[in-house]
Structure 1
Amino acid sequence: MSLKITVIGTGYLGATHAAAMAELGFEVLGLDIVPEKIEMLRRGEVPMYEPGLEELLHRHVAGLEGSTGRLRFTTDFAEAAAFGDVHFICVNTPQKHGEYACDMQYVDSAVTSLAPHLTGPALVVGKSTVPVGSADRLARTIAELAPAGEEVELAWNPEFLREGFAVQDTLHPDRIVVGVRSERAEKLLREVYATPIAEGSPFVVTDFPTAELVKTAANSFLATKISFINAMAEVCEAAGGDVAKLAEAIGYDDRIGRKFLRAGIGFGGGCLPKDIRAFMARAGELGADQALTFLREIDSINMRQRGQMVELARQALGGGPFLGRRIAVLGATFKPDSDDVRDSPALNVAGQIHLQGGQVTVYDPKGMDNARRVFPTLGYAGSALEAVRGADVVLHLTEWQEFRELDPAELGEVVAARVILDGRNALDPERWRRAGWTYRAMGRPTA
């Protein structure tokens, strides 16, 4: 008998996981408590931009022409409990308002809503990023609430999705980590992930705390690497060095590696900032706060980059106030190939300049609607060319491929001044200079 899978929470993580499980051949039921989201998914539409996800849904959502029919959606926990052998919890764990800690209300609600309906053997699998110790607590909750008692188990299986590559990362993960307490739970998860395991994805079996720590440790390491090169950019600014050449040189050392060593305006999004803050908060609760004090400085370096970009823009305009000056901002999302503007450094810089009196016009290939919702008072343009028209300075703040392919000469015809600040060190300085632009990038005063 083939396993049946439910996915509870159909946001970014859940919708991707549900579609990928159907692609791997399983019958899947996705659940969400927001009816509008379920209606969208039933039509094969996704509430966010993620390359390849809509095509995957169309291939499997029941009722759509030519689909396998393996993927359905519901708002009913009783239906989900009766349907599934393995229940994946994929709900959001945002930062609590006014503090660093992680808000567990959605995870807790998913577990307490599902467990009372579990009358037969089942495996509940947490995928959400949670503070270490949560799985142990949730296992006790399930034991208390599930009618099937010991026949219902919990496992923890953290997600490692990169926005823009989520489908690829789910179907062909670079590792699968499972925190389990029994051979049965491990066996079920090996069955779920049989295809990627057969393709060579490492399968790492751990206890609950280690599985919970893997995701936050990985994100903390990546954040550290980004903030390290941004700290080097600050030193290069002061010393007259070139951080791009510095990064290239140290990146050839395979102990260091070249990834995540591009200096710029720092990291953002819905994961890295909240995860490192929640990690610090949880370490404090465990009495291990000194172990993670360095993360406070990582966070601080990251936030400082945004202010430095604003200052770079001010210098480019002659050092005076922004009042009455026209600033074009290319990029609104926190990274390319996504429409996510959560804690976006690009939007933050645009907002700061706007609040200081600058006339800011933003263009982003996918993030315009979300940006408008967050910052309705900014100006928005339908293209890069339209955004830079009449601009005294152009800020490149999200490294979309579209921006790398822009024609500097064409843009030069419509700007008030040919000045570009590369907040991502992703453009070709020579190409822009040949077209008569003044090119300036963070950490590269002499480049």
Structure 2
Amino acid sequence: MRISVIGTGYLGVTHAACMAELGFEVMGLDVDVEKVAALSAGRVPLYEPGLEELLKKQLAAGRLSFTTDVEALAAWAGEGAVHFVSVGTPQKKGEYAADISQVDDAFDSLARAVAGQGRSLLVGKSTVPVGTASRIADRVAELAPNAEVAWNPEFLREGFAIQDTLRPDRLVIGVRSEQAEQDLRRVYAQLLEADVPLVVTDFPTAELVKVSANSFLAVKISFINAMAEVCEASGADVMQLAQALSYDPRIGGRYLVPGLGFGGGCLPKDIRAFMARAGELGVDQALAFLKEVDAINMRRRARTVDLAREQCDGSLLGKRVAVWGAAFKPNSDDIRDSPALNVAASIHLQGAQVTVYDPKATDNARKMFPTLTYADSALQAAHQADVILHLTEWQEFQDLDPAVVARHVSDTRVIDSRNALDAAKWRAAGWTYRALGRP
């Protein structure tokens, strides 16, 4: 069995490299010529711990290659191949709904390429609105009667993508035939031998698993951030509240972390697309609560800007603000819908001179927000700052000595919007320490 991966973004290149690590011959396809050239040379155009090393290893082993030619890919794969489609489904401009045009185009071109060959399995991994898989399966049946469609949602966490592919919490496959199930069991045989749970289900259920999981996580994150709002109004400490809640086994502590909220390329657009699809299905009231989840998340950003203004005596005009963090989360260079950059840009618009530092995402941030100033280190960003904003919880920032940082700033004021710094340590070093949801 040979495997192909259509789309070599974050999900696609990770899946391709990991399938090669499992011993398969794998070919990745993308329409971006420059990206394919970079990947073929062993360069990953994004940051994910361990991914570039794994890519180079599999290229050297001869198990992994890349192309822009779908016909050549189909000829290489041959009969019995499994083709994974992992292209993007961004939010439509001006709408909540997902744009699935890339998914449609990928399946269409792939189906035409494999038509006339022996049996092929075309597997969707992209996060799509429920009902998409059935529609695509009907379309593929018209274009390539020898091909079958299955759906296999991904559950990758940025920063842990390799682990989540090779040692996942679970595998979910939506299939319409015993043969499709057996093909995917062969693909994931090593994982199944390691007792990874497998859920075999229908198309709609498989499509709903990812968006349901993301929505639940968004609810949990926004719940504790809603409690942070109440804590700020009442003088309570949201960190102690979260700790007390975490001991309840029905609740648990994972994702019960108060702070600036979620961002990135998945949770925000997925919950909005989920609401849009529910409306199309006539059950919009079932997911109406997700609108408030989204609103709570966005309010945390506005509250951080308010805190910064308060710490600058009521006005940000002419103030020097250091921003630690640009990526939406640590161990990533992904700045899509980044709360950190959203806050930095808002403060800049209020007249502050904003200097940003991030261990991995600075280059991406500079391209999207060229009007901000960027530094090569946390201390350089803090130079003569009136206030420091800790907006992405990189370990590098938590390891800094606040006494050393104090020698670089104009005023010892810090806002810890991720509740990740040691408050007692910073206060002991003479800092005015403020955090979301804490007195």
Superposition TM-score, scaled by structure 2 size = 0.98
Question: Paired residue for 2:86?
Answer: 90
Could you tell me which of 423, 428, 436 is aligned with 2:422? 428
Question: Paired residue for 1:114?
Answer: 110
- Give the partner amino acid of 1:28: V
Give the Cα separation in 2 of the matches to 1:290 and 1:248: 32
Could you tell me which of 166, 181, 184 is aligned with 1:186? 181
Question: Paired residue for 2:66?
Answer: 73
- Give the partner amino acid of 1:170: T
Q: Deviations over 1:95-134 (max 9, x none)?
A: 0011000001100110111101212200000000000000
SS of the counterpart of 2:288?
Answer: helix
Counterparts of 1:376-395 in structure 2 under 5 Å?
376-395=370-389
Question: Paired residue for 1:419?
Answer: 413
Give the Cα separation in 1 of the matches to 2:72 and 2:170: 32
- Give the partner amino acid of 2:71: A
Question: Paired residue for 1:333?
Answer: 327
Question: Paired residue for 1:244?
Answer: 239
Question: Paired residue for 1:205?
Answer: 200
Q: CA deviation at 1:82?
A: 2.1
Give the Cα separation in 1 of the matches to 2:67 and 2:32: 10
Residue segments in structure 1 that go unaligned for 5+ positions in a row: 62-66
Q: Deviations over 1:32-54 (max 9, x none)?
A: 01110000000111010000000
Q: CA deviation at 1:400?
A: 0.2
**Are the equivalent residues in 2 in contact too, given 1:267–1:302 (CA < 8 A)?**
yes
Question: Paired residue for 1:104?
Answer: 100
Give the Cα separation in 2 of the matches to 1:373 and 1:281: 31
Q: CA deviation at 1:414?
A: 1.0
How many residues are paired up?
434
Runs of 4+ in structure 1 over 2 Å off: none
Counterparts of 1:45-64 in structure 2 under 5 Å?
45-61=43-59
Question: Paired residue for 1:295?
Answer: 290
Q: CA deviation at 1:83?
A: 2.6
- Give the partner amino acid of 2:392: T
- Give the partner amino acid of 1:235: V
SS of the counterpart of 2:61?
Answer: coil
**Are the equivalent residues in 2 in contact too, given 1:338–1:367 (CA < 8 A)?**
yes
Could you tell me which of 359, 362, 366 is aligned with 2:360? 366
Could you tell me which of 10, 13, 27 is aligned with 2:11? 13
2:224 matches 1:223: no
- Give the partner amino acid of 1:391: A
Question: Paired residue for 1:397?
Answer: 391
Counterparts of 1:122-133 in structure 2 under 5 Å?
122-133=120-131
Give the Cα separation in 2 of the matches to 1:361 and 1:254: 42
Q: Deviations over 1:237-293 (max 9, x none)?
A: 000000000000001111111011111111000000000000000000000100000
**Are the equivalent residues in 2 in contact too, given 1:5–1:28 (CA < 8 A)?**
yes
- Give the partner amino acid of 2:425: R
Residue segments in structure 2 that go unaligned for 5+ positions in a row: none
Give the Cα separation in 2 of the matches to 1:432 and 1:298: 32
Give the Cα separation in 1 of the matches to 2:76 and 2:238: 55
**Are the equivalent residues in 2 in contact too, given 1:6–1:83 (CA < 8 A)?**
no
SS of the counterpart of 2:389?
Answer: strand
Superposition TM-score, scaled by structure 1 size = 0.96
Question: Paired residue for 1:64?
Answer: none
- Give the partner amino acid of 2:137: A
Q: CA deviation at 1:407?
A: 1.0
Give the Cα separation in 2 of the matches to 1:348 and 1:273: 14
Could you tell me which of 254, 262, 265 is aligned with 1:267? 262
